Amino acid sequence: MIMGILGPAHSRKSTLINIIAGMEKRSYGVVRLHEHDQEDLPLASLIEVGIHTDYHPLWEHLSVREHLKIHCLLKGISWSENPKSSPEVFIQRLNLSEYRYKKLKFLSPQAKKKLSLAIALLGTPNVVVMDDGISNLDLSSRKFIKELLKLMVEKRQATILTTMRSMAEAEAFCDKIAVLVNGRICSLGYTPQMKERFAKTFKLTLMKYQVSDPSYEQKIQSIFPEAVLVPSMDPLEEVFEVILN
């Protein structure tokens, strides 16, 4: 299953992903995988988890090739430079060939992000946790990652949890969607259910004068108690989904 997390800026999407990935401490609640608490996961379960967040596990003095070789050894994957081997497929399909022997301090942020994704997906883990792993990629790399994730779900029954920037992209890519606002899940369901629900709503769009202006959320919800603040690419814009009774 692929589950997408949507939400406006500062809705704590990255915080949620970092807590699930073990990068940040949670204030309360439990994170469990395969019936084990997060702190008690056995090594075999940890190897089966791929994580891509802003906390890139990268070393500036090592090359792309050296990073992939180290992580192959850590995951028990045989290292090979055969064009059909897993590391080589990632290098070629993510357009990293020209950076193969370059140290990371000479790479662009985009290239580093691609390498981080390759590391997370090496060995096709059965659980993947990603913070915006797709949106900023070039078209060919994005197509490859989407195809790979869907194949992992089909062949390995993998579970993918990823933040998304666009409702349209989430509807096209995800099996299930959660809308997060101020750290709370305000709406959750399978994609067809979410489409049906939002089809019974109207959108109310309000514009701020400045980004620092306070949110209209409390005022709108005092008028429309079931109104939900939904993602918007414009920081000056607040969009509300209001359910029609």
Q: Does 111 map to a domain?
A: yes
In sequence order, the 6+-apart residues with CB closer than 8 A to the CB of 207 are 236, 237, 238
In sequence order, the 6+-apart residues with CB closer than 8 A to the CB of 56 are 112, 113, 115, 116
Instruction: Give the whole-angstrom CA distance, residue 245 versus residue 237.
Output: 25
CATH number, domain with residue 102: 3.40.50.300
Nearest to 193 by CA among 205, 179, 180: 179
Q: What is the dihedral of CA 40, 43, 45, 51, to 10 degrees?
A: 100
Q: Does 137 map to a domain?
A: yes
DSSP state of 24: S
pTM for the full predicted model: 0.76
Q: Does 223 map to a domain?
A: no
Q: Does 62 map to a domain?
A: yes
The whole-number pLDDT of residue 197 equals 73
Q: Which residue reads 């949890």 in tokens?
A: 161
Nearest to 125 by CA among 100, 97, 151: 151
With a pLDDT cut of 70, the percent of the chain lying above it is: 97
Half-sphere exposure of 157 (CA within 13 A, CB side): 0
Q: Does 47 map to a domain?
A: yes
Structural domain of residue 130, as residue ranges? 28-168
Q: Does 155 map to a domain?
A: yes
Is the predicted pLDDT of residue 101 greater than 70, yes or no?
yes
**Alpha-carbon dihedral sign for residues 213, 215, 219, 220:** positive
Q: How many domains does the chain have?
A: 1
Is the predicted pLDDT of residue 186 greater than 70, yes or no?
yes
Q: Does 205 map to a domain?
A: no
Q: Does 114 map to a domain?
A: yes
Instruction: Judge contact between 167 and 231, C-beta under 8 A.
Output: yes
The whole-number pLDDT of residue 175 equals 95
**Encoded tokens for 199:** 């089809």
